Amino acid sequence: MSLLDTHWILCPVCRGKTRTQIREDTVLENFPLFCPKCRRTSLISIRGQKTEYLCQPDAKTQLTLTFDEIAALAGTALDHSFLTCKKELPAYGYAVGKISMKQQTVIFHKLPEGGSQ
């Protein structure tokens, strides 16, 4: 087994290359995998080059929209006033998770019933 028989672990969220490499005989249990691209941490287990993602974003509690999609829904272009409006979202059961200027996306999280963040 040599160091050349390695490959990069991909992020389960953005599918970007992480800074972690594994070999064919690598075994990881409940490993916190950090992605420098989307800046999220996912819990994974690896055995025999089979990767199991233990903690991924839930489609029922997370929503990602582009700036253009938000503009179409809101009827106006997204600008700095959105930063003020995002403070009002908890009253409607949502919170802004991340605003990416580079990817031009906003990640929204659905709050638990009866709670706010």
Question: Is pLDDT at 115 greater than 80 in this prediction?
Answer: no
Strand-pairing partners, residue 53, are 44
Given this model, what pLDDT does residue 116 score?
47
C-alpha distances (whole Å) from 11 to each of 23, 33, 38, 56, 73 are 17, 8, 9, 10, 30
Mean pLDDT of 54-71: 74
Residues 6 or more apart from 83 whose CB is under 8 A from it?
A: none
Backbone CA torsion sign across 91, 59, 83, 81: negative
Q: What does each C-alpha distance from 2 to 7, 24, 46 come to in angstroms?
A: 12, 10, 19
Q: Which residue would you say has higher pLDDT here, 60 or 41? A: 41
Which conformational region is residue 99 in: left (phi greater than 0), alpha (psi within -120 to 50 degrees), or beta? beta
**pTM score, two decimals?**
0.48
